[in-house]
Amino acid sequence: MDLTRARTVVAGVALAVVASLGWTTPAGAADAAARCAALAGVDIPARVIGLPTTGGAVTEATLVAPSGSGTTAIGEYCRVTAALHPVDPAAPDIRMQVALPTTWNQKALMFGGGGYNGTIPALDGNVPFGPGDAPRPLGRGYATFASDSGHQAPAGFLPTPSLYGEFLANDEALRNFAGDALKKTRDAAVFVIGRYYDRNTPQQTYFAGGSTGGREALAVAQRWERDFDGVISVYPAFNAATLDLYFGHMTRQLAAPGAFPRPAQQVLLYNAVVTACDGLDGLTDGVISNEPACRFDPVVLRCPEGQDTGDTCLSDPQITAIRAVSSPITFPYPLASGETGYPGFPFLSGADMSTPLLGLGTTAPATPMPKTAGYGMQFWDAWVTYAVTRDPAFDSLSLDPLAPGPWQDRISELTALQDVNSTDLRPFARRGGKLLLLHGTADELVSHRATVEYYEGLVQTMGQRRVDAFTRFYLVPGANHANVAAAFAAGWDSLTALDHWVTTGAAPADPVVRDTNPGATRTRPLCEYPTHPRYSGSGSPDEAGSFDCVTG
């Protein structure tokens, strides 16, 4: 057989395999470069976008060569960059990207952002709490897409681009961030996908995001129930403006004289909580699995006479502040979103110094707000100055979220815009949509207690039977917000579970989560709320099979 004929045979076999999987190539892989290049400069008409814009255009289209190997392998794809133009000429464009695999599985996935967004999430990235031992979505043949939610953080913005909040001063940019950019990005991406794949649109489209992205996941399920077949919402900041108010409460508590625990004292607190509550699940392993049963009073760490005498104890002002930020707050005025308070954080949260900027930070809050203060404190500062008062010179520490005075109406208005707290997802469920909801119990930035309240609200609104038909909610003990250097860094192939549920009707059954910390080999059952994993007393403590999902 000559070389030309051999190549033809091999190509034919490859295309047959692709066809047998239901995957497609854009009229054969050979012309992928030409098809990709043809997208450059393509107009995205305003009429294909379901919310007001002035249209958009593809600004760049580049064929990206295959890369990686094994679970990191990414096949050839066309990377498309586009801009969607606002109605208000003073508002920024929505910048977005789409990855179009040459060998496509006829499915699409939108990635959510984080913080105040401001950058486009990596199209070759993983879903939050995703597995390290399986290919990433783009590597599986998904067309992936994402946007900056309608503004770009300046290059090099410190301490992180996701804290850039100046865009909040523009109404259209604020609405885009609150949710409108999700619909605009999705519609534009579907247009681009259809243009590239000969008018073929995805058979299934999913959304995955954590934190702000988790809020965005719930927003698309609530507002545009026909656009996504399933969503993965991880540690969702669903009640975003209400969380901002909690951040303000926390910031003011920790700004009181002598109230801020230094980094070494934060570690002291963290270790004391773990020592007190680690064994409640039948195993001492550095992970508190039965968080609701953890009863810890920081007074056991009190310095003599309550005075700050060093890093081996806590002063009375520090104990007062720690108790305050760990307790629920109730707002003494109504909010338009219907939220009435925020449940606070367990003592375990915010004390792990592996991620200091996401917890309490290394510096007490002050005016101006230090770049080394906790993430939530800086988040509050940006929200107050650019969204609430729209006065960059305003001192955010002077605004009491429990008594906001002349700013009460504006704050209430923002909760109606930003909080995604409706617990009526019946339209999404009736259409066949599925929701996977996950949260780590050591989250230091978004309280898992709030997600528990959201889920219980779903049950109260829709009934347990209806909720069970389309939602699974899992709490992951030891997992923190960024899933970095956590007591238990969660890894689960939620995308496969979601896709299987959507396409076959089979809900996740006995899922197992893996600790993805470097060198870790532990697995645990992924227990459905309200249960948690408890060691059975026999078998390897590193194996999920040695644990039962229990209540109490």
For residue 220, pLDDT over 80 is answered with yes
For 307-330, the pLDDT digits (tens) are: 999 999 999 999 999 999 999 999
User: 269: which 2 tokens?
Assistant: 């607190």
* C-alpha distance from residue 181 to each of 69, 102, 174, 333, 398 (Å): 34, 27, 10, 30, 32
| Interval 34-48 mean pLDDT | 97
Question: Are 268 and 247 spatial neighbours (Cβ–Cβ below 8 Å)?
Answer: no
Is 315 an annotated catalytic residue?
Answer: no
Band (pLDDT 50/70/90 cuts) for residue 424 is very high
| Interval 476-486 mean pLDDT | 90
For residue 450, pLDDT over 60 is answered with yes
For 223-246, the pLDDT digits (tens) are: 999 999 999 999 999 999 999 999
For 249-308, the pLDDT digits (tens) are: 999 999 999 999 999 999 999 999 999 999 999 999 999 999 999 989 999 999 999 999
For residue 378, pLDDT over 70 is answered with yes
- pLDDT the model gives residue 182: 98
- pLDDT the model gives residue 30: 58
Residue 16: which residues within 8 A CB-CB, separation 6 or more? none
Question: Are 113 and 217 spatial neighbours (Cβ–Cβ below 8 Å)?
Answer: no
Considering the candidates 151, 249, 439, 481, report the single residue annotated as catalytic. Answer: 481
As a whole number of angstroms, the distance between CA 213 and CA 240 comes to 11
Band (pLDDT 50/70/90 cuts) for residue 358 is low
Band (pLDDT 50/70/90 cuts) for residue 484 is confident
Name which residue leads in pLDDT, 442 or 6.
Answer: 442
Is 211 an annotated catalytic residue?
Answer: yes
Question: Are 248 and 399 spatial neighbours (Cβ–Cβ below 8 Å)?
Answer: yes
- pLDDT the model gives residue 346: 83
Considering the candidates 211, 289, 396, 412, report the single residue annotated as catalytic. Answer: 211
Question: Are 260 and 275 spatial neighbours (Cβ–Cβ below 8 Å)?
Answer: no
- pLDDT the model gives residue 14: 37
| Interval 526-546 mean pLDDT | 97
| Interval 521-530 mean pLDDT | 97
- Point out the least confidently predicted range of 24-38, 81-95, 412-426: 24-38
Residue 505: which residues within 8 A CB-CB, separation 6 or more? none
Annotate 229-275 with three-state secondary structure: CEEEEEEECCEHHHHHHHHHHHHHHHHCCCCCCCHHHHHHHHHHHHH
- Point out the least confidently predicted range of 61-75, 192-206, 345-359, 463-477: 345-359
Eight-state DSSP code of residue 48: G
User: 27: which 2 tokens?
Assistant: 């009229």
As a whole number of angstroms, the distance between CA 121 and CA 31 comes to 28
Residues facing 265 on adjacent strands = none
Q: State the average pLDDT for the chain.
A: 92
Question: Are 517 and 486 spatial neighbours (Cβ–Cβ below 8 Å)?
Answer: yes
- pLDDT the model gives residue 379: 98
Give residue limits of the domains in the chain: 44-202, 242-418, 425-551
Question: Are 491 and 512 spatial neighbours (Cβ–Cβ below 8 Å)?
Answer: no
For 157-213, the pLDDT digits (tens) are: 999 999 999 999 999 999 999 999 999 999 999 999 999 999 889 999 999 999 999
Helices 181-196 and 212-223 cross at an angle (nearest 10°) of 80
Considering the candidates 443, 493, 499, 515, report the single residue annotated as catalytic. Answer: 443
Residues facing 144 on adjacent strands = 99, 109
* C-alpha distance from residue 207 to each of 163, 185, 441, 469 (Å): 23, 12, 23, 19
Question: Are 58 and 44 spatial neighbours (Cβ–Cβ below 8 Å)?
Answer: yes
Is 500 an annotated catalytic residue?
Answer: no
Nearest residue to 498 via CA among 113, 72, 110 = 110
For 1-32, the pLDDT digits (tens) are: 343 343 333 333 333 334 444 455 554 555 89
Counting other chains too, the contacts that 65-73 makes at CB distance below 8 Å and 24 or more residues apart are 68/139, 71/132, 71/133, 71/134, 71/135, 71/136, 71/139, 72/135, 72/136, 72/139, 73/135, 73/139
- pLDDT the model gives residue 24: 57
Nearest residue to 545 via CA among 521, 512, 509, 519 = 512
- pLDDT the model gives residue 435: 98
- pLDDT the model gives residue 323: 93
- pLDDT the model gives residue 359: 80
Band (pLDDT 50/70/90 cuts) for residue 353 is very low
**CA angle at residue 38 from 34 to 40, to 5 degrees?**
130
Concatenated DSSP letters of 74-130: B--EEEEEEEE--SSTTSPPEEEEEEEESSB-SEEEEEP--TT--SPPPTT---TT-
**Percent of the chain whose pLDDT exceeds 90:** 89
For residue 67, pLDDT over 50 is answered with yes
